[in-house]
Amino acid sequence: MRLSFASEQTRINHSKSATVSLNFSFADGPLYDFTAYTECKELPEQPLYNGGMLKNHPPENFSSIAHFSTGFYTPAFILHNLTPGTIYCFSIWLKIEGANSAHVRASLKTENSVYNCVGSAAAKQGCWSFLKGGFVLDSPSNLSILFFQNSDDRDINIAVASASLQPFTDEQWRFNQQYIINTERKRAVTIHAADGSGDTLQGAEITIEQVSKDFPFGSAIASTILGNLPYQKWFVERFNAAVFENELKWYATEPEQGKINYTIADQMMEFVRSNQLIARGHNIFWEDPKYTPAWVRNLTGPALQSAVNSRIQSLMNKYKEEFIHWDVSNEMLHFDFYEQRLGHDATLHFYETAHQSDPLATLFMNEFNVVETCSDENSTVDRYISRLRELKRGGVLMDGIGLESHFTVPNLPLMRAILDKLATLNLPIWLTEVDISGKLDKETQAVYLEQVLREGFSHPSVNGIMLWTALHPNGCYQMCLTDNNLQNLPAGNIVDKLLKEWQTGEVTGHTDGHGSFSFYGFLGEYTVSVKYGNRTANSTFSLCQGDETRHVTIRV
């Protein structure tokens, strides 16, 4: 690898929408810049944060870094006095020579550790690609090296430009999260109280209560919830969305060919309907052969195609318009059971047929290790985007981005940077299976869960969050919220804390001299009571996303 550094020159200016135009300062630091790019550009854009710590700080040439033995040169930045706990957001533009394309990974080496991937991008020859990521150190570092390498260490030239490294304290990061919550998840409301003649009523007593939330926040459920009234009560008191953990998967509904049984799924759907929950459909197909029915694994050619067609028609006709989403071909970036046997267009057929069967459902591409890390080269953010675009070019109505979110140690700036890139596609983004590895103790799980949930809820492009915490007698997949007696574990305490924080409690007050009362509320459905003297009027209103104040007039 040999270094070529692009000097500053006239750039193409980029426009930002109101939701991402946050690149200005407040008293204690910058507001986070959500800008990201997924198109290869003729010229690199200007650096975010005007370069931050890397302003006027060109890269160096280094060889044999971090166990390199090739002797190739890599672009690298020398960083001094990095502190643990500080959140470092990194971005840079890349261009390569010597290959048409390459997966380039940014890595960080300190005195004591190597952070294998702090950001990645699919770089190309002849145009500039945007890499965005970040890192948080475990221990202080007096001298660190931020360097770049392609995945197979081919001898290619890497050019870099418009590098930026912006630090945020934990307090600044939390401020930025709250800023987005206040602007994206809440809205101003003014209640006007008037009498029958339209005259304003000063001093009227106002009581407001949020009765439902707009943001979908839910969990997986399993057949264990059936007949378990305490568990059902616990669930519906917290969540407004559900997903069946395994009960819709092909191996569950048709373990033997032709013997289709939806009894358990039907009973779970009755629970969903009776409690006015929304539900995700998971999943139609799973590309991992380990979770494909044994009898399906033995089929080939027309017999396999016939079984696939029957599966889609049976499932989709049975539950048409019942599920808001469908994970159509689960984990297709890591596995390809059906495409190996039915050809490269097999996935296209799945999505086309699913859309025809249930045109109102949002079809998702559900995958792991997209937002959790950038070290898994099967599912980097650019590879996810490339596969999604490939399906769209084939005519697929790809409507949703599903990020499983099975974390061990979250890298928050990397997580946010990946969400930023995915947000450029203007599709709904859901965190679909959130949990923290069971290899960690329960207290650590809770700490990391709070970090992930706050990051998801405070990103303007995330439309919903689902936990993967279905309760079983022997525990959960990786992380439980409660024990078998429904007593909270540390992770459950975090969920309850955030649920309370992310809802509008009872709001009370009196109208002012203009007969008005104002407050900020989370999006959702509300009841309002206005009492004036011996007269009382009750009403309801919806609070949906909008930049303007929502005005509600109540006549008493």
Return the SS3 of 171: helix
Tell me: pLDDT of 48 over 50. yes
Say how far apart CA 347 and CA 368 lie, in whole Å: 18
Among all residues, which ones are annotated catalytic?
Answer: 331, 433
3-state helix, strand, coil in the chain (%, to 5): 25, 35, 40
**For residues 463-473, average pLDDT:** 98
Q: Are the CB atoms for 267 and 247 separated by under 8 Å? A: no
Over residues 44-56, the mean pLDDT reads 97
- Nearest C-alpha neighbor of 44 from the set 109, 147, 132: 132
Q: How many CB atoms lie within 10 A of CB 270?
A: 11
User: What confidence category does residue 151 fall into, taking pLDDT thresholds of 50, 70 and 90?
Assistant: confident
Q: Which of 28-32, 310-314, 414-418 has the lowest mean pLDDT?
A: 28-32
User: Minimal CA–CA distance to 167: which of 60, 108, 85, 112?
Assistant: 85
> What average pLDDT score do residues 279-305 get?
97
- Residue pair 231/486 in contact (Cβ under 8 Å)? The answer is yes
**By percentage, how much of the chain surpasses pLDDT 90?**
89
Q: How far apart are CA 556 and CA 537, in angstroms?
A: 5
Which residues lie closer than 8 Å to 462 by C-beta, 6 or more apart? 419, 429, 430, 431, 456
Q: How far is CA 122 from the centre of its chain?
A: 21
> Alpha-carbon distance 106 to 75, whole Å?
10
Q: Give the per-residue pLDDT at 73.
A: 57
Average pLDDT rounded to a whole number, residues 500-505: 96
The helix or strand, by DSSP H or E, that contains position 82, with its residue range, turns out to be: strand 73-82
What average pLDDT score do residues 71-87 get?
Answer: 86
Nearest CA to 108 among 369, 371, 375?
A: 375
Q: How many CB atoms lie within 10 A of CB 551?
A: 13
Check residue 425 and give its pLDDT. 96
Tell me the pLDDT band of 14, cut-offs 50, 70 and 90. very low
- pLDDT of residue 11 exceeding 50: no
d(CA 104, CA 437): 28
The 10s digit of each residue's pLDDT in 544-556 is 999 999 999 999 9
Query: In terms of pLDDT, which residue wins out, 124 or 26?
Result: 124
**0.75 cut: is pTM over it?**
yes
> Residue 63: its pLDDT value, please?
59
* 69 has a pLDDT exceeding 90: no
Domains in the chain with CATH codes: 48-168 (2.60.120.260), 186-210+505-555 (2.60.40.10), 215-502 (3.20.20.80)
pLDDT tens, position by position, 184-216: 999 999 999 999 999 999 999 999 999 999 999
The answer on pLDDT for 542 being more than 50 is yes
pLDDT exceeds cutoff 80 at 167: yes
Average of per-residue pLDDT across 356-380? 96
Dihedrals φ, ψ of 164, to 5°?
Answer: -145, 135
Across the range 289-300, mean pLDDT stands at: 97
User: In sequence order, what are the residues at sequence separation of 6 or more whose Cβ sits closer than 8 angstroms to the Cβ of residue 41?
Assistant: 12, 93, 127, 128, 130
Q: Above pLDDT 70, what percent of the chain?
A: 93
Q: What is the pLDDT of residue 7?
A: 31
**What three-state secondary structure class fits 382?**
helix
Q: Print the SS3 string covering 430-470.
A: EEEEEEECCCCCHHHHHHHHHHHHHHHHCCCCEEEEEECCC
Give the start-end residues of each E strand in 195-276: 205-213, 217-221, 241-244
Residue whose pair of structure tokens reads 């145009």 in the numeric block: 127
Q: Please tell me the distance from the alpha carbon of residue 223 to that of residue 248, in angstroms, as a whole number.
A: 11
Q: Is 353 within 8 Å of 363 (Cβ atoms)? A: no
**DSSP state letters, 111-147:** SS-EEEEEEEEEEEBTSBEEEEEEEE-SS-EEEEEEE
Tell me what the pLDDT averaged over the chain comes to.
Answer: 92
Using pLDDT thresholds of 50, 70 and 90, give the confidence band for residue 74: confident
- In sequence order, which residues have a C-beta less than 8 Å from that of residue 336 and are 6 or more positions away? 287
Task: List the beta bridge partners of residue 3.
Answer: 158
Other beta carbons less than 10 A from residue 535's beta carbon = 13
355: Cβ contacts below 8 Å, ≥ 6 apart? 361, 363, 396, 397
The arithmetic mean of pLDDT across residues 123-146, rounded, is 97
Distance CA 76, CA 96 (A): 15
Kindly tell me the sign of the dihedral angle through the C-alpha atoms of 279, 280, 284, 286. negative
pLDDT at 22 over 80: no
Question: What is the structure's pLDDT at 60?
Answer: 87
Residue 154, pLDDT above cutoff 80: no
Cβ count within 10 A of residue 120: 28
Instruction: Give the whole-angstrom CA distance, residue 347 versus residue 341.
Output: 11
Q: Is 157 within 8 Å of 98 (Cβ atoms)?
A: yes
Give, for 95, the enclosing helix (H) or strand (E): strand 87-97
Rounded to an integer, the average pLDDT of 409-418 is 98
Task: Look up residue 311 and give its two tokens.
Answer: 């599966």
**Structure token pair of residue 37:** 């790019």
* Edge-to-edge strand list for the sheet holding 186-194: 516-522, 186-194, 550-555
Q: Report whether 32 contacts 416 (CB < 8 A).
A: yes
Q: How confident is the model at residue 68 (pLDDT cuts 50, 70, 90)?
A: very low
State pLDDT tens for residues 508-521: 999 999 999 999 99
Gap between the Cα atoms of 402 and 414, Å rounded: 17
Average pLDDT over residues 469-487: 97
Q: Which residues lie closer than 8 Å to 542 by C-beta, 6 or more apart?
A: 524, 525, 526
Q: In what order do the strands lie in the sheet with 535-543?
A: 507-510, 205-213, 524-532, 535-543
Task: Map tokens 């025809």 to a residue.
Answer: 356
- Contact of 40 with 100, CB cutoff 8 Å: no
Residue 66 has pLDDT above 60, yes or no: no
Confidence tier at 15 by pLDDT (50, 70, 90): very low
